[in-house]
């Protein structure tokens, strides 16, 4: 990629490089197959064919090499035709079970919540995003070292708070959740939290169940 990306003037004008670099079509691996060798191919079962294809597209493939290289393309076309039906059916079932999850009231007034903890690798915290993205605490989020309140109970977690939550090593949070929402029909906006598409408070009438099923 490096050798085809520039000419003597230093400007990246090579059309093959531009096509791959822009993301329009192709990749570094496919450019290697153009000028180097196609390499090892896989059978439809997933096994690797022992004999590599030593020719490149520039040189041209022999009959046997071409036949071996068609396994992947044939499997790709078959999968596209067959698996589209499976993914469509899965989406349909998810929508069927989640379609009643609609924001019907601003706040159901529940006093319950759930406790969440950051992802850990052994004793080391590797990801605080579980706490960061569940938006409304049921109890104050407190810096354990300074006893300073980062986010008060009932307030929405904003972007400004995320760095403080990361630094203070918060190991759990008690938050509002749709799992314990007391809304008589659907769910409430406070238990749901932020509208992830807009970054604002979720609107009444939003079909959040269908959005989740299709995400």
Domain end call among 62, 97, 132: 97
Phi, psi of 78 (to 5 degrees): -65, -45
Give the Cα separation of 176 and 116 in Å (integer): 10
Q: What would the DSSP string read from start to end of 139-208?
A: S-EE-TTT--EEE-TTPPPPHHHHHHHHHHT---EEE--GGG---SSSEEHHHH-EETTTTEEPPTT--H
Co-location of 108 and 205 in the same domain:
yes
DSSP, collapsed to helix, strand or coil, labels residue 104 as strand
Please say if the pLDDT value at position 19 is more than 90.
no
Give the Cα separation of 16 and 57 in Å (integer): 14
- Which of 6-15, 44-53, 91-100 shows the lowest mean pLDDT across its residues? 6-15
Confidence at residue 93, expressed as pLDDT on a 0 to 100 scale: 95
Q: What is the mean pLDDT of residues 131-141?
A: 67
Domain end call among 73, 97, 121: 97
Highest mean pLDDT among 55-59, 64-68, 91-95, 119-123: 91-95
Co-location of 77 and 47 in the same domain:
yes
Residue entry with tokens 């590599």:
52
Structural domain boundaries enclosing 10: 2-97
Question: What percent helix, strand, coil does the chain show, rounded to 5?
Answer: 40, 15, 45
Co-location of 41 and 65 in the same domain:
yes
Average pLDDT along the chain:
81
What phi-psi label fits residue 203: left (phi over 0), alpha (psi between -120 and 50 degrees) or beta? Answer: beta
| CATH number of the CATH domain containing 25 | 1.10.132.30
pLDDT > 90 fraction of the chain, expressed in percent and rounded: 18
Domain count, the chain: 2
For residue 124, the surrounding DSSP H or E stretch is strand 124-127
**Residue 50 near residue 43 (C-beta atoms within 8 A):** no
pLDDT band of 11, cuts 50, 70, 90: low
Confidence at residue 125, expressed as pLDDT on a 0 to 100 scale: 60
Co-location of 122 and 198 in the same domain:
yes
**Residue 141 near residue 170 (C-beta atoms within 8 A):** yes
Closest CA to 185 of 127, 80, 101: 101
- Which of 61-75, 135-149, 177-191 shows the lowest mean pLDDT across its residues? 135-149
């Amino acid at each position: 990629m490096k050798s085809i990306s520039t000419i003597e003037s230093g400007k990246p004008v090579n059309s093959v490089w531009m096509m791959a670099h822009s993301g329009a079509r192709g990749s570094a691996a496919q450019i290697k197959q153009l000028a180097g060798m196609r390499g090892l191919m896989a059978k439809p079962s997933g096994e690797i064919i022992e004999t590599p294809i030593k020719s490149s597209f520039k040189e041209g493939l022999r009959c046997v090499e071409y036949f071996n290289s068609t396994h992947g393309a044939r499997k790709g076309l078959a999968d596209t035709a067959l698996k589209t039906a499976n993914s469509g059916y899965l989406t349909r079932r998810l929508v069927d079970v989640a379609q009643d999850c609609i924001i019907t009231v601003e706040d159901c007034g529940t006093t319950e919540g759930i406790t969440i903890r950051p992802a850990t690798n052994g004793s080391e915290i590797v990801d605080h995003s579980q706490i960061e993205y569940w938006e409304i605490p049921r109890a104050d989020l407190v810096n354990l070292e300074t006893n300073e309140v980062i986010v008060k109970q009932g307030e929405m977690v904003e972007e400004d708070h995320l760095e403080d939550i990361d630094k203070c090593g918060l190991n759990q949070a008690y938050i509002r959740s749709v799992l314990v929402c007391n809304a008589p029909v659907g769910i409430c906006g406070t238990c749901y939290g932020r509208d992830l598409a807009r970054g604002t408070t979720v609107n009444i009438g939003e079909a959040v169940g269908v959005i989740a099923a299709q995400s």
